[in-house]
Structure 1
């Protein structure tokens, strides 16, 4: 959610911190700040509400802050309103310690009341300042900063990624994590901490992923890692293998548009290595036929767009596997006393691999004996490391908050896994197996064909952007696809939008249809196209204006009734959502563009949700 960067090295820290924070802007934030230590000026802290450019102007691009040791932060408000005081870094009462924090300290009120009784004065409304003041309290007790950090971590409850500097320690910063991502970077001119690899990719590709309970001491020369007992830990290094240009706009106005255009290549990278000699090959999935047959129940656990991937996959997997599939919101799963045992396969889907709700749900499933398989995009992420098996989407970095290529690669990877398991279980006919595989390999080319008609969606957005309430309707896979189309629209254009199963229209929803209401009708699922047409007629009779999305096979029939029609190439029904989602993404993008919205950084949203 929030962004953290820290640097200990030989170069001036402030410009490096500002650059790293800029590269994490996509995560969402409402204030920013940096703290830098120098021999002559001690701790220098600058914070500002609003966009990062306010902080950059305040510090003249970091030139005003002298020193080669520092920490930086972009904050989304949780405790306390967004303002300069509540922004990070937070400083201890005596001004010796500065700290940045991602996460939630659940017992902060209890600790704050204790410190208030000791005479400590607080200046902010945040839970994070409690950590800074508690750290000073224990530092005065023991006189050793590392020991003080250990005492604090044993006392606080909740989730955290921490970056800490102290005026008494001129060349070292301390980092710690629990349930919130933190990366260590090894560079030539110094070493780094960051909550997101994009913040430091300009400086190093040599990284280490911290595990829960670990503490790191970062100096210009080295990084030492300790466990929660303060015993040294040897960490495995990873090399970031994507190019820095992947995290840049490449001449496009927005990351979201660039990432929509990148989908054919992302699909190719996800699919091609996993199809060999006409078979699905999943080298990283260690699952025998006997184990697959043991699964009497399958859960798919996710949040947001990944949850919508799960809804599509439920339809496809139940068709292919003839096994019951239950799709659960991660935030609900862990509190529902789920029926998970050793005969349950639990699929967890997360783009970042750090989504806290999803991680907690996966841990609950493992505790109950379930077999966990993670679908993630970030190598070395927490969910990837903790799952029994992990398959990567290989979508590359996705910068826009509203997901596009991550959704599409998750979707096609779930189709691959479903096909693989169906083949293992013998529940799919060979002819259908090969037909799906053939069409899957053709997806990138067909996606490219859809993307040649972006102007059509731009025109439709210019026609409809003044609507304040829009409804998506569809059946079966089209309903599942409508959920994602509706979410994309509301995320970035701030238009109220809802997706409904078409069969529910007469059970209440149709009362909301009036003259001029825009209805996006999805008619891609061929088996139920006639039903879809009857629903188009139904809403038209109540005065709705209908924008239809269908396939080339049904274009002519749909155009006779709908006010506007967009058609995508035909493919196997299992894969049709992979093509149908692209016009919905483009429609949302151009609607937001027409309304002057901040497309890559929509209000109140964050790319990676690391708090409950």
Structure 2
């Protein structure tokens, strides 16, 4: 979750870029850097390891003059936090400077090709392939904008980046290819700006617009030109933005929930950052050897949480059992604390809690700890009470989540449990190095898969329009998808005020099938890897009773697509990661239905973000 900031205009760029970075420093503090294009056409680049204050200290007494600049705060994904890996990155001729957020998935292949053609790399980052590829395009005679466009077909992954070229000293080029975090363009009086988040621009301008996925913007002091990556012009008006800090944090989105749904590719990338070495195929946990040892030696694992966190625990149960071969229980924290659960030495309780302050989850942690069990908190708040009670903590890294309904924290929690399960499997001898490597390579694809799912909002909105009038809904699934049916039902309750029920497909004949009629829609989760063939039987049974079926299916499944009344398709996904791919459209569906029904989406009635009382 890196932060980027750019400026071109008539004022000195350095203080503007530095101030903008200070407002989005929460996006990364492993290192920081900026490049200012001086009046002689030479970039003055400054970098520092650590927080932005280290960069400020470097810049004291060394003002860099220039009216075009770009800056970056880094949260490391490829390459350790170091001066060499800090952004901006440059080409061999030092005439191209780039800052990036996201991941170039095929960077190792591209880098090897560039090295074979004589390019010199100075970092271990994926970003550095960008300036070198642009350098080659410039050498072929392309202008900077065309040079940037020419390299995009070679890029795999979701990324957002800014480019400055010495030969066009008043031009910034902004690209968004995939959902690797947002980019906002601002327009002032004879100056333009680009930043990862709106708060960076609030002191500078009241006029802003988002750069959407698949678009490129050319920023000059007198205006901005936006086009698709294919070159088609895009007409979009600047809108007036608020100076209220909370509303500014919402950016260009109507609701925090929508913003947080759209941030999931970035949140998932952040959850993997520094924990996965994709080049070596190794897991590199940041939680220390103590937790790895506990995972390897535990005789039993108990997963607990409340609401969405409990649903994540159910997914985690599958991971630990199938990958690590360890006995696992998953239980709602409010029940675990009151039933005198038997735990002791050799047991490992893993509590999932976004806030780290959920009353029942804290009580479950205290109960387990008091009985001699080891305790781990998977939380989004490292300074929380859960982190203090637990003997080990794993950071979700999903970032600030304002909307009451959990979205990105839910999928980040699943990723954390998946990584813990892989660690446990390796430590217990259930998975060899090649198997670990394959699971990690699958994870590398996940942000791109989620990004692709987010591009299907229009299709999901069409389904939402047909379900809006229903006050009841059944979500049906089997196996690994059952927790996602529960989560999808919870989202419909929370933000659309629909009575929704998640049910196991194998239990249909034991009662739920009595609910089926023309007024009861069923959302059937039947992607590949989700016991799809058995779900096909359920779909047939529902259709035979005149039930309305919405299928959540894998791309290309025309057979089930033809049986369902309508379908929401998800990209082909590695089996263990299908729950995340299927979660995203259900979140979006609940959001769209809630919007159509006029619900208070960010602050649903009777609910609070953190439940800290009985």
TM-score, length of structure 2 as denominator length:
0.59
Residues 247 and 397, structure 1, Cα contact 8 Å, conserved in 2: no
Contact 2:481 2:530 in 1 (8 A): no
Q: Is the 8 A contact 1:520 1:549 kept in 2?
A: yes
Question: Which residues in structure 2 correspond to 1:505-520 (within 5 Å)?
Answer: 505-520=508-523
Matches within 5 A, 1:434-583: 434-526=437-529, 528-553=531-556, 555-583=557-585
Partners of 1:596 and 1:527 lie apart in 2 by 33
Spell out, residue by residue over 1:522-558, the C-alpha distance to the aligned partner (whole angstroms, 9 max, x if none).
01242621101010001111111100101125x2121
RMSD of aligned Cα (Å): 2.0
Describe the shift of the 1:301–1:512 C-alpha distance in structure 2 as closer, same or farther (beyond 3 A). Answer: same
Residues in 1 aligned to 2:448 and 2:473: alpha-carbon distance in whole angstroms? 31
Change in CA separation of 1:432 and 1:535 when aligned onto 2, cut-off 3 Å: farther
C-alpha spacing 1:470/1:371, structure 2 compared with 1 (3 Å): same
Alpha-carbon distance, 1:324 to partner: 1.3
**Could you say which residue in structure 1 is the equivalent of 2:289?**
286
1:303-342 Cα shifts (integer Å, max 9, x gaps): 0000000011111210011111111111111111112111
Residue range with higher mean Cα deviation, 255-264 or 426-435: 426-435
Q: Is the 8 A contact 2:292 2:423 kept in 1?
A: no
- Are 1:303 and 2:306 counterparts? yes
Between the two structures, name the one with larger relative contact order (CA 8 Å, sep ≥ 6).
Answer: 1
Match in the other structure for 1:259: 260
Q: Distance in 2 between matches of 1:279 and 1:246?
A: 41
Give the secondary-structure state (helix, strand or coil) at the position aligned to 2:412: helix
In the alignment, does 2:601 pair up with 1:599?
Answer: yes
The answer on whether the counterparts of 2:324 and 2:425 sit within 8 Å (CA) in structure 1 is: yes
Cα pair distance change 1:600/1:289, threshold 3 Å: closer
The Cα shift of 1:468 comes to 1.1
| Compared CA separation, residues 593 and 524, structure 1 to 2 (3 A) | same
Equivalent residue number for residue 183 of structure 1:
none
CA distance 1:561–1:329, shift in 2 (3 Å): same
Q: Which of 321, 326, 331 in structure 2 is aligned with 1:328? A: 331
Distance 1:527 1:467, change over 3 A: closer
Counterpart CA distance in 1 for 2:293 and 2:611 is: 37
Listed one character per residue, the Cα deviations across residues 365-406 of structure 1 (whole Å, up to 9, x for unaligned) are 000001111000012111112210001011111000001001
Alignment map for 1:128-277 (pairs within 5 Å)? 248-276=249-277, 277=280
Residue pairs, 1:69-148, within 5 angstroms: none
Partner secondary structure for residue 547 of structure 1: strand
In 2, the alpha carbon distance for the partners of 1:527 and 1:484 equals 15
CA distance in 1, matches of 2:424, 2:545: 45
1:60-75 paired onto structure 2 within 5 Å: none
Q: Verify the 8 A CA contact 1:289 1:425 in the aligned structure 2.
A: no
Between the aligned partners of 1:557 and 1:516, the Cα distance in structure 2 is 24
Q: 1:542 to 1:561 in 2, by over 3 A?
A: same
Structure 1 unaligned spans of 5+: 1-197, 203-243
**Among 412, 421, 425, which residue is 2:424 paired with?**
421
Instruction: Flag structure 2 segments of 5+ consecutive residues without an equivalent.
Output: 1-198, 204-244
The alpha carbon displacement at 1:436 in A equals: 1.7
- CA distances 1:433-462 after superposition (whole Å, capped 9, x unpaired): 222211111111111111111111111111
SS at match of 1:587: helix
Return the TM-score normalized by structure 1: 0.59
Match of 1:7 in 2: none
1:394 matched to 2:390: no
Structure-2 separation of matches of 1:424 and 1:411 = 20
Distance (whole Å) between structure 1 residues aligned to residue 265 and residue 605 of structure 2: 29
1:325-404 maps to which residues of 2 (within 5 A)? 325-404=328-407
Corresponding residue for residue 313 of structure 1: 316
User: Against the structure 1 CA distance between its residues 299 and 439, is the aligned structure 2 distance closer, same or farther, given a 3 Å change threshold?
Assistant: same
- What is the CA distance between 1:288 and its match in structure 2? 6.8
**2:44 aligned partner:** none
Q: 1:310 to 1:291 in 2, by over 3 A?
A: closer
Distance 1:247 1:483 in 2: 33
Q: Is the 8 A contact 2:297 2:428 kept in 1?
A: no
Q: Is the 8 A contact 2:382 2:393 kept in 1?
A: no
Contact preservation (8 Å) 1:524, 1:551: yes
Alpha-carbon offset, residue 299 of structure 1: 0.3
Q: 2:35 maps to what in 1?
A: none
Residue 367 to residue 541, structure 1, CA distance change in 2 (3 Å)? same
Distance (whole Å) between structure 1 residues aligned to residue 247 and residue 410 of structure 2:
17
Give the conservation status (yes or no) of the 8 Å contact 2:351–2:376: yes
Q: What is the SS of the residue equivalent to 1:257?
A: helix
Match of 1:609 among 583, 608, 611: 611
What is the number of residues matched between the two proteins? 371
